[in-house]
Amino acid sequence: MEELDDRATIHIVNGPNLNTLGVREPEIYGRTTLAEIEGWCRDAARGPIEFMQSNIEGEIVNMLQAARGTADGVIINPAGYSFYSVAVLDALKFYGGPVIELHISNIHARDEDHRHSIMSKAATAVIAGLGARGYVTALHAMYDLLEARA
């Protein structure tokens, strides 16, 4: 396998309410804060990472448009937008590079409102149910994906 260019840039995009991790429904999302997750990702990163969060759909769209031609890979937790935002889905398609869709909880085992992600149509891979550590798993998986494509 080829060596990964160690300057591969990964964008990690977080959707609505993920700024409240650690407090919101800890029985589902755990007690780890988004700042702690960002720290784990920075420790695990093999190159530059951008770690972003917004509660605003259009800002997520802007982040994904900006990732085109800039990010070698995108990891996205679309949170509540997962289940209906065609705008975020379209922006993911526009991005065009490898995408890992990430959910902290196992959405497939949840209620009807949190089960059917439309984002998966534009995802290279999906990770769900690993808790907050899923972000680090996703980062390692993205490097593996990029290495396999190199």
Catalytic residue among 103, 114, 135, 143: 103
Active site residue 103: yes
Residue pair 54/26 in contact (Cβ under 8 Å)? The answer is no
Termini Cα distance of the chain: 8
Q: Between 11 and 114, whose beta carbon lies closer to ligand DHK?
A: 114
- Which residues within the stretch 98-117 sit at the binding site for ligand DHK (CB under 6 A)? 103-105, 107, 114
CB proximity list for 87: less than 8 A, separation 6 or greater: 57, 58, 61
- Which residues within the stretch 49-88 sit at the binding site for ligand DHK (CB under 6 A)? 77, 79-80, 82
Residue pair 53/21 in contact (Cβ under 8 Å)? The answer is no
- Which residues within the stretch 3-22 sit at the binding site for ligand DHK (CB under 6 A)? 17
Contacts with ligand DHK, residue ranges (CB under 6 A):
17, 77, 79-80, 82, 103-105, 107, 114
